[in-house]
């Protein structure tokens, strides 16, 4: 009987952890700190159960560095991670699973000092 109670408790704890919001470091980049910043364009869309947030950064290496640092902090949680550097820029992408759904994260840095960053996935992945 004691084993059954322990097993049930473990299952409940696992289900509760499984349903937690992802609490990603990259999500904090959309806390309003870049609202009104001339170097940053912010896009946020919710449509048909999909959620998308993006930042386009021009001529601000400090912001790009903060984005890259946030991605680095989230990288250990990634199911898949890739980083590519080429003549035209650097590309980093992550896939993080939450609530059985994949959250796609990407950063494209160009050689001219600009960057495009996004987070995208089903709304369920962010709950």
Q: Which domains does the chain carry?
A: 21-126 (3.30.160)
∠ CA 34-111-107, nearest 5°, is: 50
pLDDT in tens, 38-63: 999 999 999 999 999 999 999 999 99
Mean pLDDT over each residue of the chain, to the nearest integer: 85
pLDDT in tens, 86-120: 888 899 999 999 888 999 999 999 988 899 999 99
pLDDT at 95: 96
pLDDT at 127: 81
Single pTM value for the model: 0.79
Q: Two tokens at 42?
A: 């912010």
How far lies 26's CA from each of 11, 15, 47, 103, 114, in Å? 30, 24, 21, 11, 18
């Amino acid at each position: 009987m004691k084993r059954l109670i322990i097993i049930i408790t473990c299952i409940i704890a696992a289900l509760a952890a499984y349903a937690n919001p992802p609490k990603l470091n990259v999500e904090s980049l959309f806390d309003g700190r870049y609202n009104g910043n001339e170097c940053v364009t912010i896009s946020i869309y919710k449509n048909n159960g999909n959620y998308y947030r993006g930042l386009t950064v021009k001529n601000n290496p400090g912001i790009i560095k903060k984005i890259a640092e946030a991605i680095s902090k989230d990288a250990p949680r990634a199911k898949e991670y890739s980083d590519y550097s080429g003549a035209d820029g650097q590309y980093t992408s992550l896939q993080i699973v939450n609530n059985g759904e994949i959250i796609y994260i990407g950063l494209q840095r160009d050689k001219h000092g600009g960057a495009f960053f996004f987070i995208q996935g089903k709304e369920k992945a962010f709950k």
